[in-house]
Amino acid sequence: MFLALFLGCWSPDQLCAGRGETSLVLGEGSGTEFAAFEDGQVVEIMTPPQGGFGLPFRARSTGLRIADQFLDLEMRTEVDGEVLGEFLYEDMIAYCQEDGAGLMWGTATPIDHPDFVESEDLEVLRGKEARMVVIATDAMGDEVTAEAWIEISLRE
């Protein structure tokens, strides 16, 4: 009973203030829903707002300080051991959830390799296994890394 009262005193801001074990998981979802990617899950290449191509994801973090809402994300896409793109997204908004986790969306690991300029160039990536790597760093300098192994899909 004491534990229930103790936990009831925490607000989401306090829960998102960098307490406990850190973790970061990549996945998908809509609204406040989140489902972690499973190994080999099919992910369709998209055109992110900044241009180029990328593999979209959501990220769920625990233990990072997101009370100020911002994290830096270093993102990378690898295929067959080759880096196809890297990008630093500074000040990514992480939304504090009721369970104290941070939830991020609206970004993608990049594909900005010179071999992939036009949509037609992407055909060689269809069905390939890709490694998505994301490193999140909070305002206190704490960082955590996530990776997901997915299968690349192209819009028909």
Q: Which fold has domain 11-153?
A: Immunoglobulin-like (2.60.40)
Who wins on pLDDT, 11 or 54? 54
Backbone angles phi, psi at 123, to 5 degrees: -55, -35
pLDDT of residue 15: 65
| 113-145 pLDDT tens trace | 999 999 999 999 999 999 999 999 998 899 999
3-state helix, strand, coil in the chain (%, to 5): 10, 50, 40
When the pLDDT of each residue in the chain is averaged and rounded to a whole number, the result is: 88
pLDDT of residue 90: 93
| Tokens, residue 140 | 């206190």
| 58-74 pLDDT tens trace | 999 999 998 778 999 99
Please state the pTM of the whole predicted model: 0.88
pLDDT of residue 6: 37
| 36-53 pLDDT tens trace | 999 999 999 999 877 889
pLDDT of residue 29: 95
Average confidence (pLDDT) over 74-97: 95
Average confidence (pLDDT) over 20-45: 95
If you search the block for the tokens 């850190």, which residue do you land on? Answer: 22
Count Cα neighbours of 79 within 13 Å in the Cβ-side half-sphere: 22
Is a pLDDT exceeding 90 seen at residue 148? Answer: yes
Is a pLDDT exceeding 60 seen at residue 1? Answer: no
Average confidence (pLDDT) over 74-103: 94
